[in-house]
Amino acid sequence: MKAIAVTPKQTNSVRLEEMDKPKTSDIKNGRGVLVEVLRVGACGTDREINNGEYGVAPEGYDFLVLGHENFGRVAEVAENVTEFAVGDFVVATVRRPGYSFYDDIGEQDFTTDDEYFERGISRLHGYMAEFYAESADFLIKIPPAIKEIAVLLEPLSIIEKGLKQASDIQERLKIWRPKTAAVLGTGSVGLLTSMALRLRGYAVHGFGKDARDGYLNADLLEEIGVSYDSTMETTVAASTEKYGEYDLIFECTGYSPIVFDAMQSLNQNGVLILASVTGGERKTDAIPSDKINQQFVLGNRVMFGTVNANREHFEIGVKDLALCEAMYAGWLGKMMTHKIEGLENFAQAFDVLNNAGKYRAIKAYFEVKKI
Ligand code: BGC
């Protein structure tokens, strides 16, 4: 079968590899499921891996099959799989257990191992292939009604984990009634975050770099009642004069200096969630550290980082995708701006990823096989 692979740490090595079709018997304990891949999303992490900045090949290979945002159909199940049947739609989680005790209890998204196992990213082949085999333990069933947009579930799961932790952490307060949120970043993750917060009743304010005029992402935000401001015209801290301080801020720009701006924009008892993986070397100075520190202390503010997601977060994501279709019919589909037909057109996908601004791309994805 065909798969899209890279040589990790080598710039622009993306290519097609011919691989053996996996089998349910590759998975132990009779729990194997063979999945026919229908769609795979392409994201900033795939771009970074192809830029040679991130990613590790599995042991015994000098290449890594890319792809972690996935959606497929069950083609075969082994004898001990009772929860899936041939024809079911599924999405697979990304991280697999390593060695820490969080991994032992199924919370590998909180692993304390330095080396982690993530399909399509680190030490495990991914989903940019015609088929994959996986244990039923790592698959999430997808209702047919959301099949057209279910490839958005994996990026949404990251947000769900962030929001779940925010509400867990805020239990320290006994009562927390958040009203306003700022979402920093208006790419696909920022849009999904804004949507998830709107579904929870927040007044949401989105911030991006682009000018408002003709910016599709801002049009989409406005369709679901989210304001848009360009950080070329305002800082997040200055925006609090207009909108008030934010009870929750979700950072997903990939531009780390904005974190310090966000730290100065939180309401008392507020919570700031950091979700950008910033692999670069950027440094920033002139931080008003006394002021920020004092605000955090005197206002009982919280900031935390979040990565990856486990089954629970994918399951919340399935419900949010369905609710979003019910509340804002067709909105998620408008995010899926660039469909690439067939794995062999990988060059086109990376061109879109590398030039998202020029193509006005929000989400690029492969249609590996028609649904
Ligand atoms: C993926 C996560 C992963 C993270 C760090 C993200 O792009 O969505 O599943 O944990 O990268 O590797």
Q: Which of 164, 152, 137 is nearest to 78 (CA)?
A: 137
Q: Which of 70, 94, 151 to mutate to test the pocket of ligand 1 (most atoms within 8 A of CB)?
A: 94
- CB 94 near ligand 1, within 6 Å: yes
Spans of the chain, pLDDT less than 50:
none
Residue of minimum CA distance from atom 7 in ligand 1: 45
- Residue 109 Cβ inside 6 Å of ligand 1? The answer reads no
Closest ligand 1 atom to residue 43 Cα is 7
> What's the maximum distance between 2 C-alpha atoms anywhere in the chain?
62
100 C-alpha vs ligand 1 centroid, how far in Å?
A: 19
Domains of the chain: 2-149+336-367 (3.90.180.10), 157-305 (3.40.50.720)
Instruction: For residue 69, report the distance from its CA to the centre of ligand 1, in Å.
Output: 9
Note the pLDDT of residue 279: 79
Q: Please indicate whether residue 133, judged by its CB atom, sits closer than 6 Å to ligand 1.
A: no
**For ligand 1, atom 9, which residue shows the shortest CA distance?**
308
Q: What's the confidence (pLDDT) of residue 285? A: 86
Q: What is the pLDDT of residue 280?
A: 81
pTM of the model: 0.97
* Residue in 114, 115, 156, 307 to alter for ligand 1 test, most ligand atoms within 8 A of Cβ: 307
* Tokens, residue 51: 């830029």
- The finding on whether 158 has its CB within 6 A of some atom of ligand 1 is yes
Cα 124 to middle of ligand 1, angstroms:
13
Residue nearest to atom 10 of ligand 1 (CA): 308
Residue 62: the pLDDT is: 96
